[in-house]
Structure 1
């Protein structure tokens, strides 16, 4: 259960390095990440709109380079 002060880590990988799809994983505090979606289409005619909706004081977004 989440409580005040917990960290929620959300990782979206749209590189398609190991799968033909993108993935979304979530972790709480220092727990291991759990994959929530592993079938995000990478080649679609529809545009993806990333939204950070749980922001607040101390929240941040990092964009990591493709390796």
Structure 2
């Protein structure tokens, strides 16, 4: 995005092609960051579901053990 502002400062707003190069360069790291963030969310929810499942299994085991 810095490149876009540099183009704006030098050429003004009349050259969209020059600005689009900077926008395209800024989009790549943004998309990479979103990919990493979404992957992290997937693993977070997967881990939370596993923990919840193991807790439920432990509760059921303890209920059976205590009632015997």
Aligning the two structures, in what range does the TM-score lie when normalised by the shorter sequence? under 0.3
- From the two aligned structures, give the one with the greater strand fraction: 1
More helix by percentage: 2
Q: What is the TM-score of this pair, normalised by structure 1?
A: 0.21
Q: Which has the larger Rg?
A: 2
The TM-score with structure 2 as length reference comes to: 0.21
